[in-house]
């Protein structure tokens, strides 16, 4: 039966009329043989595009879910109460049971957070929520495998920012001269500045593209850049605590701010944000920094609404002071079909067999909102 169907199909394909009523047997079969490889490549390309789009949408939704989850965290799960000792990475491979893994490893295993509640907090709760949403995709972590992956890509990075609307007219002339600038806002206009980036011991990347130490990125808590002036202070209205942002380097709760200090020449930082796997290397840092791709300047330009002509004082006064959670995900995307014919063709036109999908989402987080009153 099948042989008869094939025979009839070939007869139909061979039935192309020729000139003067003659029949050219095999012409359509030859044409089909020439066109079929192209059709197969097109179909495979369509499948790969659909696979990429599907994965991208899943990653994007997981990132938004994590950022939205962070907006409602307060109290014990506030980003300001996070244990900063958990930001570091344990040495791999991890110890075998019954030995207890180090706290940094436990904080990166979602299944164990229910047992070791003391290691659960703002950042890993966000990531664990995202990982549940990520199904059926999986994020490859060296802390799940127990051994480092030199080619690892997958990572989730969570950063929190305190954003203060600063009116230069409330500052002294010297402070106005040293006030951090925003490229899209005139120097005399009210602007939104980053006055804190959390976690406080993972908030800077002080390496340049050559991989050498540099101080081009300011301390997130030092937005009036005249080091050592005792007149540069505010106080937190709720706690009634004086915040000496430059002299004592405290956060808005009066806690010490860790990291590079020009007065003590401490070791430079090489992390931005809470990194789940530590596998994402920040671009243009000479391979020295991991974590968030967002610098302070980029965040400031984002929240100052550069696409809107807010130049009048009454317009800019409406920009709020707020907290912001920024969630970034980096995921290793592999081709679906793994076809030895299609893959070289795809790479030849500019693609890669493995490529990194990066997505991000940002939402307000009231727990990190600065409550600053200037003297």
Residue 136 lies in a domain: no
Which pLDDT belongs to residue 249? 40
Residue 101 lies in a domain: no
**329 close to 130: Cβ distance less than 8 angstroms:** yes
Cβ count near 115 (within 10 Å): 10
Per-residue pLDDT of the chain (375 residues; tens, 9 = 90+): 667 777 776 666 565 555 555 555 666 667 777 777 778 778 877 888 899 999 999 999 999 999 999 999 999 999 989 998 899 888 888 888 888 889 999 999 998 888 888 899 999 999 999 999 998 999 999 988 778 787 889 999 999 999 999 888 888 787 788 888 898 888 888 899 998 899 988 888 888 889 888 877 787 877 886 544 333 444 444 554 444 343 334 444 555 443 334 334 456 778 999 999 999 999 999 999 999 999 999 999 999 987 777 777 777 778 888 999 999 999 999 888 876 666 665 565 555 567 899 999 999 999 998 877 665
Residue 223 lies in a domain: yes
Of the candidates 118, 131, 165, 156, the residue with the CA atom closest to the CA atom of residue 325 = 156
Residue 118 lies in a domain: no
Residue 336 lies in a domain: yes
Residue 312 lies in a domain: yes
Structural domain boundaries, residue 217: 38-50+153-373
Q: Provide long-range contacts, Cβ within 8 A and 24+ apart, for 184-191.
A: 184/301, 184/304, 184/306, 185/304, 185/316, 186/311, 189/311, 189/313, 189/316, 190/165, 190/166, 190/313, 190/316, 190/317, 190/319, 191/165, 191/166, 191/300, 191/304, 191/316, 191/319
Q: Give the ranges where 237-317 is alpha helix by DSSP (H).
A: 296-303, 313-316
Residue 290 lies in a domain: yes
User: Which whole-number Å values give the CA distances from 133 to 68, 84, 137, 322, in the listed order?
Assistant: 13, 26, 9, 27
Strands 270-272 and 290-291: parallel
SS3 for 164? strand
Cα atoms in the 13 Å half-sphere on the side-chain side of 172:
10
The CA radius of gyration of the chain, in Å to the nearest whole number, is 28
Which pLDDT belongs to residue 130? 97
- What the block records as the tokens of 276 is 């789940």
Domain count, the chain: 1
Which pLDDT belongs to residue 17? 53
Residue 27 lies in a domain: no
């Amino acid at each position: 039966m099948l042989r008869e169907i094939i025979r009839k199909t070939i007869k139909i394909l061979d039935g192309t009329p020729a000139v003067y009523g003659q029949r050219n047997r095999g012409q359509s079969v030859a044409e089909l043989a020439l066109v079929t490889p192209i059709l197969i490549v097109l179909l495979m390309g369509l499948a790969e595009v659909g696979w990429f789009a599907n994965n991208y949408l899943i990653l994007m939704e997981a990132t938004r879910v994590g950022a939205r989850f962070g907006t409602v965290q307060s109290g014990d799960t506030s980003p300001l109460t996070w244990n900063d000792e958990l930001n570091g990475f344990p040495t791999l491979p991890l110890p075998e049971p019954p030995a207890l893994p180090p706290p940094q490893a436990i904080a990166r295993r979602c299944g164990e957070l229910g047992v070791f509640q003391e290691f659960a907090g703002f950042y890993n709760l966000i990531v664990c929520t995202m990982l549940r949403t990520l199904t059926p995709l999986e994020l490859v972590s060296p802390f799940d495998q127990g051994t480092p992956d030199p080619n690892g890509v997958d990572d989730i990075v969570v950063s929190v920012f305190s954003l203060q609307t600063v009116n230069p007219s409330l500052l002294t002339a010297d402070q106005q001269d040293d006030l951090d600038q925003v490229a899209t806002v005139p120097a005399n206009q009210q602007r939104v500045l980053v006055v804190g980036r959390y976690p406080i011991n993972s908030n800077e990347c002080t390496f340049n593209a050559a991989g050498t130490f540099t101080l081009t990125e300011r301390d997130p808590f030092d937005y009036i850049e005249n080091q050592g002036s005792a007149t540069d202070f505010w106080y937190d209205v709720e706690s009634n605590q004086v915040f000496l942002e430059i002299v004592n380097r405290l956060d808005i709760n009066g806690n010490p701010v860790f990291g590079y200090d020009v007065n003590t020449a401490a070791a430079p930082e090489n992390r931005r944000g809470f990194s789940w796997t530590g596998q994402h290397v920040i671009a243009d840092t000479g391979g020295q920094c991991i974590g968030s791709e967002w610098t302070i300047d980029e965040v400031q330009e984002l929240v100052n609404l550069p696409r809107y002509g807010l130049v009048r004082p009454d317009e800019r006064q409406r920009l709020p002071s707020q907290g912001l959670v920024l969630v970034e995900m980096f995921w290793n995307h592999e081709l679906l079909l793994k076809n030895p014919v299609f893959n070289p063709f795809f790479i030849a036109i500019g693609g890669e067999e493995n490529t990194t999908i990066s997505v991000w989402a940002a939402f307000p987080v009231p727990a990190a909102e600065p409550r600053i009153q200037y003297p």
